[in-house]
Amino acid sequence: MRRTQFARKLFPIVYPSLFSSLFTVTLLLSFNLYSTQVHAKDKGISIACGAVGLEYELCKSGAQEWSQKSGVPVELVSTPNDTNQKLALFQQLLSSKSEDIDVFMVDVIWPGVLHNHFVDLNGMIPADEKSAHFQNLIDNNTVENRLVALPWYVDTGLIYYRKDLLKKYGLEIPTTWSELTSAAEKIQAGEKKANSKFVGYVFQGKAYEGLTCNAIEWTTSFGGNTFVLPNGEVKANTPENVAALEKAASWVETIAPKGVLNYAEEEARGVFQSGGAAFMRNWPYAWKLANAEDSPIAGKVGVMPIPKGGANGKNSPILGGWQLSVSKYSKKQKEAAGLVLHLTSQASQKDRLIKGGFFPTRKALYQIPALKKGNPVFAVLGQSLETAAARPSKSTGSQYNRASNEIWNAVFSVLSKDKTAKESLEDLDKKLGRISRGGKWK
Average pLDDT in the chain? 89
Find, among 323, 385, 361, the residue nearest to 115 by Cα. Answer: 323
Lowest mean pLDDT among 6-20, 188-202, 413-427: 6-20
Lowest mean pLDDT among 34-38, 304-308, 398-402: 34-38
Find, among 261, 301, 268, 300, the residue nearest to 283 by Cα. Answer: 268
Measured in degrees and rounded to the nearest 5, phi and psi for residue 32 equal 60, 100
Measured in degrees and rounded to the nearest 5, phi and psi for residue 6 equal -80, -40
Rounded to an integer, what distance in angstroms lies between the CA atom of residue 254 and that of residue 406? 26
- Residue 52 CB neighbours (<10 A): 10
> What are the pLDDT digits (tens) for 72-112?
999 999 888 778 889 999 999 999 999 999 999 999 999 99
> What are the pLDDT digits (tens) for 292-312?
999 999 999 999 999 999 888
Find, among 19, 10, 202, the residue nearest to 96 by Cα. Answer: 19
Lowest mean pLDDT among 239-243, 343-347, 436-440: 436-440
pLDDT at residue number 26: 43
Q: Which amino acid is at 204?
A: Q
pLDDT at residue number 52: 65
CB 415 within 8 A of CB 249: yes
CB 62 within 8 A of CB 68: no
| 3-state SS, one letter per residue, for the chain | CCHHHHCCCCCCCCCCCCCCCHHHHHHHHHHCCEEEECCCCCCCEEEEECCCHHHHHHHHHHHHHHHHHHCCCEEEEECCCCHHHHHHHHHHHHHCCCCCCCEEEEECCCHHHHHHHECCHHHCCCCCHHHHECHHHHHHCEECCEECCEEEEEEECEEEEEHHHHHHCCCCCCCEHHHHHHHHHHHHHHHCCCCCCCEEEECCCCCCHHHHHHHHHHHHHCCCCCCECCCCCECCCCHHHHHHHHHHHHHECCCECHHHHHCCHHHHHHHHHCCCEEEEEECCCHHHHHCCCCCCCCCCEEEECCCECCCCCCCCCEEEEEEEEEECCCCCHHHHHHHHHHHCCHHHHHHHHHHHCCCCCEHHHHHCHHHHCCCHHHHHHHHHHHHCECCCHHHHHHHHHHHHHHHHHHHHHHHCCCCCHHHHHHHHHHHHHHHHCCCCCC
> What are the pLDDT digits (tens) for 327-351?
999 999 999 999 999 999 999 999 9
- Residue 374 CB neighbours (<10 A): 8
Structural domains of the chain, ranges and CATH numbers in brackets: 3-148+321-387 (3.40.190.10), 158-318+392-436 (3.40.190.10)
- Residue 306 CB neighbours (<10 A): 28
pLDDT at 20 over 90: no
pLDDT at 41 over 80: no
Beta-strand pair 45-49/74-78: parallel
pLDDT at 411 over 70: yes
